[in-house]
Each structure stands twice: as structure tokens, then as C-alpha cells.
Amino acid sequence: MSDATKDDLLQKPISRRDMLKLGAAGGVGLLLGAGGLTGVLAGTGMLKDSAKAADAQTAGDTVPFYGKHQAGIVTPAQDFICLGAFDVTTTDLGALRTLFQKWTEASAKLAQGQGVGDESGNPILPPVDTGEAMGLNAAGITITFGVGASLFDGRFGLGSKRPAALVDLPAFGGDELQPEWTGGDIAVQVCANDPQVAFHALRNLARIARGKAVLRWVQDGFQRTRTADPNGSTPRNLLGFKDGTNNPDVKKADVADDIVWATQADGANWMADGTYMIMRRIRMRIEVWDRTHLNEQEATFGRHRDSGAPLGEKDEFAPLDFAKQDDKGKLMIPMNSHVAVANMGGKVKIHRRGYSYSSGIDLKTGQLDAGLLFICFNRDPRRQFIPMQQALAAQDKLNEYIVHVGSAIFAVLPGAKAGGCIGETLF
């Protein structure tokens, strides 16, 4: 029996008062959920090759948890996500290390479609696993862990280990960041081809963290499912445009090494084979967009809506030609279009892996609270994401229709071998 199981069995059934305390601390955010995710920046969202890879990944596949790199980074994007950020409440480094050991053990079981631990069979104790995934397969689940810059403050003596690339993101023009969607000590990204399987995993990891960490925010999200699109075409964002056409082909090891994976030479030995994740919760002004004529929409993205092809082309994957003009000498792709600004001359690339979200209605405005949970992975945000986002914030025509309300950056830990632990190179 695992240490995590023993600890849970030793706990008494939780009272209503304790539940209210957990809610006040942030735990209720997980129980209620918060919305969804998508990827908007110039192809934010899905892998370029998710379309081609979909036929190789069925809904019930299992993805190995252990490995050189964590899963859920270059893994073909699953249909659903449940992304949570935790604030660590313990100040004991040993307790934090133990938490990651328990999370590792539980995640390896979840990746195989199992519960988080063995049940005691004692009916007067709470079950070890919450049970809502009983009878369901693994649904291609991946669980990915990262740590925020705030974890390297004075609480654990880790300050000297903070990687130089784990910078505090600068303020970008047009940001309207909300504290409830920003920051966090630890990120846990759960992706699966079933929303209940994804939620179940994050819920149980939050339960294991009780007394050591509490949820700061949770966002769930979706893309089109394999049932709705068995051909696996490029997903569309909530503005109706294909999203992810120009994502780099990270299935190629040399491409992933160049764009995604950190090395010892990058300055933090313990981060070798890890990466850096940026989360941006991007709300779309859907009601305004829906009143915008098609020509303006296509000029905003720089692509045709139906085909996803660059303006003036017919093939979605046609090369971007920013010098091409129409018969009146006007550029086919406006230089302030989303695709043109995000292209960065082809020199700056990130690996996007975002999802759409819908969180109901904004009670203050009566408008939909929906948009994109932009997630990207890059080897060094100082040379990749940050300059790209600064350019987008300054001149992207899409800014008329979106607003960034949440933001966080995390150092995604290297993978672990069976019998090892996520975070062991750090702790």
C-alpha cells in the first residue's frame, strides 16, 4: 500500500465545516470548475500535426507516464483539458518533496486507467479514490507538472536554483489581468479524450495535496472531438478560424530539441529535458466578432475562414507570402494581421497547445465568457514567447476582438523513470 493511500486512510471523514474551509482556501474552484481553454496566438491551440496524428491515437489509448520528458507536451493534443494552479501552503521542503512523490505514484496509476490507490474496504472511511472514473478507460490521459517562479522564494531555500529563463512575464500592452486567473506555485495540466477522466484526475491530485497545497485557479477546455471530426482536420477556435496550421512539427526530434526542450547548457542543470509553459487566458469579444463582416474577419487573421489558407491561396498549408499583392497592388495578407505579426520573420517559434473554453455568462455585462486558454511550450521564453507576444500586443489586428485576463509561467519539470519521482532533479 502506498504512503499516499495510508495517509488518506488515516484521515477522518471530512465535516461540512472542513469542506467550507477548503472552499474558502480555493478548493471549491475545482469542484465547481471554471470554464475552458483554446489557443489564439497565430495558430494557438492544437499541434499542426494533431490532424494527421489523430488517426494514430484512439480515444482509449494509454500514454506512458514515465519517460525522459513528461507527457502532455509534444503528445498529440487530446480532446479535453483540465488545467489547475496550486498555491503551496506548507513551508516544509520535505513535505513538498513527499507531495510530488505521492503525485507521481498516483499519476502513473491514472495514466493506466486505474484509481489513485487501493481501497481499504472499510465503509466508515472515505474512499481513497473519488470514483467518478470507475468503469472508464484511460482516455489517453496525460498529467504534466510545472513549478512557478513563486516557488523559488524564501520558503524552501530554492532561490539559487531558479532558472534564469523562468522570468516574471513583463506587462504586455492591452493586458487586463485578473488576480484570480494569474500566477501559481505549481501547475498541473491534465489532458484526456474524456472530460470526466480529466476532471477526476485533477480532483484526486488536489485531494492528495490537502494540507500541503490548495488550488488557486482551475480552467477546463475543449477542442473538437475525434467523434465529430474523425478525419482529424486542424481544429477551429471560437472565432471560427483554423487554429494551429503553422505549429512546428515537434514529432521531429531535432525540431523539438530546438524549440521545446531545455538543456544543461541553458543554465539550469536540473531543468535538462524540461521546458517552459506559458498560460494566457484570452477572452474573446464574441458578440463584437459576430457582427463583423467576413472580409474584415479574414483580414484580421490573414487567412480564409473556410479553407484556412493564407489570403490569396487555396491550400491551408501553402507557404506564407507576405509580399504577394492583388491586382490593385494591395498586399494580400495585411502586415498587421495575426498571422503576419506572429510569424516574426519565421525566426521565432513556439509550440502551441491550447484549447477553447466557455465559462457561461459574464454577469456584469451579460456577454459570453468564452475564448482561448492559450498554452505554449518553449525552450527559453526570453527569446521565444516574450518577443512574440510583445509584437502581437503592439500591432496585432486581432487585439480588437480579444483581451488577456489571465497569465502564468511555469518551469515544466523533466520526466522521471519508473520508481523515480517528478521533481527529483529539483528537490
CA atoms within 13 A on the CB side of 101: 14
DSSP 150-195: GGGSTTTT-GGG--TTSPPPPPPTT----GGGB--SEEEEEEESSH
Return the beta strands (E) in 14-169 as ranges: 37-38, 80-88, 142-148
Strand partners, 276: 378, 411
| Whether 216 contacts 209, CB under 8 Å | no
**pLDDT tens, the chain, 427 aa long:** 444 444 444 444 444 334 434 444 433 333 333 333 333 333 333 334 444 444 445 666 899 999 999 999 999 999 999 999 999 999 999 999 999 999 999 999 999 999 999 998 999 999 999 999 999 999 999 999 999 999 999 899 999 999 999 999 999 999 999 999 999 999 999 999 999 999 999 999 999 999 999 999 999 999 999 899 988 899 999 999 999 999 999 999 999 999 999 999 998 999 999 999 999 999 999 999 999 999 999 999 999 999 999 999 999 999 999 999 999 999 999 999 999 999 998 999 999 999 999 999 999 899 999 999 999 999 999 999 999 999 999 999 999 999 999 999 999 999 999 999 999 999 9
- What is the crossing angle of helices 93-111 and 3-10, to 10°? 110
Nearest to 416 by CA among 201, 202, 101: 101
The pLDDT, as a whole number, for residue 267 is 87
CA distance 297 to 334: 12
Which residues touch 299 (CB under 8 Å, ≥6 apart)? 311, 334, 337, 397
Return the beta strands (E) in 203-349 as ranges: 213-222, 275-284
Cα 398 to chain centroid distance, Å, stands at: 21
CA atoms within 13 A on the CB side of 314: 0
